[in-house]
Amino acid sequence: MKNKIITLVSAICFMLLLSENIFANVRYLRLAYRDDPSTTIVIGWSNDGTSTNAQVYYGDTDLGTAWDTYPNSHGIDTITSYRNLTNNFSRITGLTPNTIYYFVVKDDQGVSARYSFKTITDNPNDSLKFISGGDSRTGAPLIEPSDCRQRRQSGNMLVARIRPNFISFTGDCVFSENIIQVNQFWSDWFQDWTLTYGPDGRIAPVCVTFGNHEVTDDFRLLFDITNSDNHYALSFGGTLLRFYTLKSDENVSACDNAAQLSWFLDDLQTHTGNANEPFWKFVQYHIPMVPHGYYSPNQPQIDCWANNFQQYKIRLAMEGHTHVTKYTWPIIPSTDAGAEKGFIQDTINGTVYIGEGGWGAPLRTLYSPNGWTRDQGSFDAYQVVFVSKYRTEIKTAQFTNVSSVGQLTDSDPAWSLPSGISVWAPANGSTVVLTNPDVSGIETLHKMALNSRVYPNPATNTINIEFNTFTTDKKATVSIYNGMAKHMSSVAISDMSNTTKVNVSDLKSGAYFIYIKYGNTIDCHKIIITH
């Protein structure tokens, strides 16, 4: 009997060993994006620095750990040594949208376990489900709770059960100012991230945001993000969603980061009023405009960003930092009577703000709600966001009883949540619904090539505007904006059948956006003025 037990225990141990990465020198796998989430992915992992000749072997059929039977392979594009980790990044391109890929990593020391990921659809008629949350740092010794890591782990385990298309992380992964422990903090964080993997090895990619506690960190070296200033944009589902990640900063006023602002406005204008227009634009950043606890409003951020959110129809802003949970009603920046802390409710044009962190970090006490606060609470949670072109729904998943929450699979409907999940049910309802008033207009835009032409580009003193077809009254309006979205001038066109000359000699050298409005159409052109 004793021998049978020993044999059984040995067999179980062997199976457990097989399921771990004991053969390949691979740990802390994480997936991210540098480019189109429908056709590319970044596979990142760490090792102890002794691994050589690592390759990712992958394909759309599950071939287990039989690495040499996978049809595709890709090596390491970049290796970083950072936070006492050797980080390897394999940037894979040419993938098929909306497809499950299975992969292993093989190096000179063996083969990893088999993992999988799913590319994002490129069809805006499909829907997406993503998790938005942040603030997973552990507490400061003695003065903050010591159970933060356990609570973070609960949230990570819940990710595996929810099985999102991707995760938007709104910052403050760890407490990086603690220079003595920061390396350990990152190892712990990546170790805990493995809890987000599904039981079948499914890994959801993460889009990271720079938080104030990452002030000494370089996310390029840990997640292979593209931009040294931590701002970037991705398109999910083709034209379904343009997703912006901004760097917020406690020490630098939002508009003082001129490079980020210029890039942001440029990208917004490139995706507004033309065939690039997505059905939705969302933004994530760490520090909230108006915190619902602990901190003061960030007036420079309100002044710099909120008007642009309104003008360019960013319908959802995801914030972190405060370690509480809130939904606002749709709001716009305002100083009118009835405005509160710089905002007023506007159901048609407003942005819904959600957040504000709480993925394990020490919870904070709430302020009294603002008039435009829909609901607020203080507990461990993140939001689950469901996106279709007509409708976006937001729910808040709390980290309670995670071990009894069911496990979603690929055969479950895209919008489902697992059984037994604890969904926050505040007074104004458990689901925030955003309906898209722009669907028909955007669908029209997608079918149209631009009907107008602006030349020369670059221009010096004069631009010419011509049209292929005309409205019945042949009238159009031209509005010129600079790269900071400041209106420079407008010109009325009385006869679209003729070439119209517009004097631009007064404009300084730089990039400008020409909006041409006629009938129900707005064409947008970017031009360069040089003197």
Q: Which parts of this chain interact with Fe ion (CB under 5 A)?
A: 172, 211-212, 321
Q: How far is the CB of 177 from Fe ion (least distance, A)?
A: 11
Q: Which helix (H) or strand (E) holds 255?
A: none
Q: How far is the CB of 246 from Fe ion (least distance, A)?
A: 14
* Residues 395 and 129: beta-carbon distance below 8 Å: no
Q: How far is the CB of 364 from Fe ion (least distance, A)?
A: 11
For residues 265, 266, 272 and 278, what is the CA-based torsion angle, rounded to 10 degrees? Answer: -100
Residue linked to tokens 């890709």: 74
Residue linked to tokens 């090792």: 47
Q: How far is the CB of 523 from Fe ion (least distance, A)?
A: 41
Closest to 77 in 3D by CA, of 65, 66, 93: 93
Closer Cβ to Fe ion, 192 or 249, answer by number: 249
Closer Cβ to Fe ion, 136 or 392, answer by number: 136
Closer Cβ to Fe ion, 187 or 212, answer by number: 212
CB-based burial of residue 530 (10 Å sphere; 0-12 exposed, 13-18 middle, 19+ buried)?
Answer: exposed
Go through the chain and tell me how many residues it has. 531
For 198, the 3-state DSSP assignment is coil
Closer Cβ to Fe ion, 160 or 289, answer by number: 289
Closer Cβ to Fe ion, 333 or 357, answer by number: 357
Closer Cβ to Fe ion, 134 or 418, answer by number: 134
**Distance from CA of residue 356 to its chain's centroid?**
15
Q: How far is the CB of 298 from Fe ion (least distance, A)?
A: 12
CA distance linking residue 324 with residue 45, whole number of Å: 31
Q: How far is the CB of 134 from Fe ion (least distance, A)?
A: 8
Q: How far is the CB of 250 from Fe ion (least distance, A)?
A: 8
Q: Which helix (H) or strand (E) holds 295?
A: none
Residue 312, amino acid: Y
**Chain residue whose CB lies nearest Fe ion:** 321
Q: How far is the CB of 211 from Fe ion (least distance, A)?
A: 5
CA distance linking residue 519 with residue 476, whole number of Å: 8
Q: Are strands 381-387 and 128-133 parallel, antiparallel or unpaired?
A: antiparallel
Q: HSE (CB half, 13 Å, CA atoms) of 529?
A: 20
Closer Cβ to Fe ion, 212 or 334, answer by number: 212
Q: How far is the CB of 219 from Fe ion (least distance, A)?
A: 15
Q: Could you tell me the end-to-end alpha-carbon distance of the chain, in angstroms, rounded to an integer?
A: 92
CA distance linking residue 465 with residue 493, whole number of Å: 9
Residue 12, phi then psi, degrees to nearest 5 = -65, -45
CA distance linking residue 529 with residue 464, whole number of Å: 13
The sheet with strand 510-518 has its strands ordered as 487-493, 476-482, 510-518, 521-529
Q: How far is the CB of 422 from Fe ion (least distance, A)?
A: 25
CA distance linking residue 203 with residue 194, whole number of Å: 8
Closer Cβ to Fe ion, 121 or 298, answer by number: 298
Closer Cβ to Fe ion, 118 or 321, answer by number: 321
* Residues 315 and 281: beta-carbon distance below 8 Å: yes
Closer Cβ to Fe ion, 173 or 408, answer by number: 173
Reading the block at residue 444, the tokens are: 């029209």
